[in-house]
Amino acid sequence: DTAVSQTPKYLVTQMGNDKSIKCEQNLGHDTMYWYKQDSKKFLKIMFSYNNKELIINETVPNRFSPKSPDKAHLNLHINSLELGDSAVYFCASSQVAGHSGNTIYFGEGSWLTVV
Amino acid sequence: AQSVTQPDIHITVSEGASLELRCNYSYGATPYLFWYVQSPGQGLQLLLKYFSGDTLVQGIKGFEAEFKRSQSSFNLRKPSVHWSDAAEYFCAVGTFFTGNQFYFGTGTSLTVIP
């Protein structure tokens, strides 16, 4: 079973459209994230949720809105897509640090192309 | 502020040669350190991690890394590189006192020559 799964894997859409990327984790983790990887491979955190509560919200346009219906899901909705939104979006999850430490597990990425 | 630096943007090695990828971090407390690998068109896979204890950690695929507090480094090594190791490698530091934040380096792209 895939630990962190996100859909769709590939998405091509026109400027101005609204799209969503879904993410689910079956690891029982409390924390979920969205990262954006740009064309230079740089990974930057966008959002982090802990038990459905937003705890990190980096400088991201408010066209991006995360939604966490429960702690196993964190969806990303993007309004009015722009060319610069083209990137790979990674969902991830982790457990809060404990004796076993903390590791972040990534989904396989969603390749978004805005044309 | 926490940060991670990977000084080498791109490295090319011959198959069978040894490999060392550099990672330096900036963090005030004891860090949690990670190395991830990203193959072309794929997600990120955890290679190894350091939390505490032995400063030389072993990972998957024959990789190891050594934590050196005095140098604020966590370099990744492999004694003999295989062609399948060609990928992007990311070092990351985790801090769990500021909202469970992870900071990634900018990555090192590895090319393996047959």
* pLDDT, average across residues B10-36: 91
- Short-list A84, A62, A89, CA closest to A74: A89
pLDDT band for A101, please (50, 70, 90 cuts). low
Taking an 8 Å cut-off on Cβ atoms, the answer to whether B101 and A42 are in contact is no
Nearest residue to A96 via CA among A106, A104, A108: A104
Residue found under tokens 């407390």: B29
Contact B101 A45 (CB under 8 A): yes
A48 touches chain B (CB under 8 A): yes
Asked if the Cβ–Cβ distance from A103 to B34 is below 8 Å, we say: yes
Contact A48 B38 (CB under 8 A): no
* Interval B53-64 mean pLDDT: 94
Which of B32, B43, B46 lies closest to A109 in CB terms?
Answer: B43
Contact A66/A35 with Cβ under 8 angstroms? Answer: no
| Average pLDDT of chain A to the nearest whole number | 88
Tokens of A74: 């964190």
- Compute the C-alpha angle B92/A51/B43, nearest 5°: 35
| Mean pLDDT across A66-77 | 93
Residues from chain A that touch B34, judged by Cβ atoms under 8 A, are 103-104
* Model confidence pLDDT, tens digit, residues A25-41: 999 998 899 999 988 88
Is it the case that residue A97 has pLDDT exceeding 60? no
Contacts of B109 in chain A (CB under 8 A): 41
Residues B70, B25: contact at Cβ < 8 Å? no
Distance from CA of A73 to the nearest CA of B (A): 17
Query: Residue A104 above 90 pLDDT?
Result: no
- SS3 (DSSP) at A15: coil
Tell me, what's the pLDDT at B1?
66
A98 pLDDT exceeds 60? no
Q: CA-CA-CA-CA torsion for B3, B7, B8, B9, nearest 10 degrees?
A: 50
Poorest-pLDDT segment among A108-112, B48-52, B55-59: B48-52
CB spacing of B99 vs A102 below 8 angstroms = no
Cβ atoms of B31 and B93 closer than 8 Å: yes
- Would the pLDDT of B52 be above 50? yes
For chain B, the C-alpha Rg in angstroms (whole number) is: 14
| Whether B53 contacts chain A with CB within 8 A | no
3-state secondary structure of A57: strand
Q: Which two tokens stand for residue B19?
A: 């490999």
Interface of B with A in 22-51 (CB under 8 A): 32, 34, 36, 38, 42-46, 49, 51
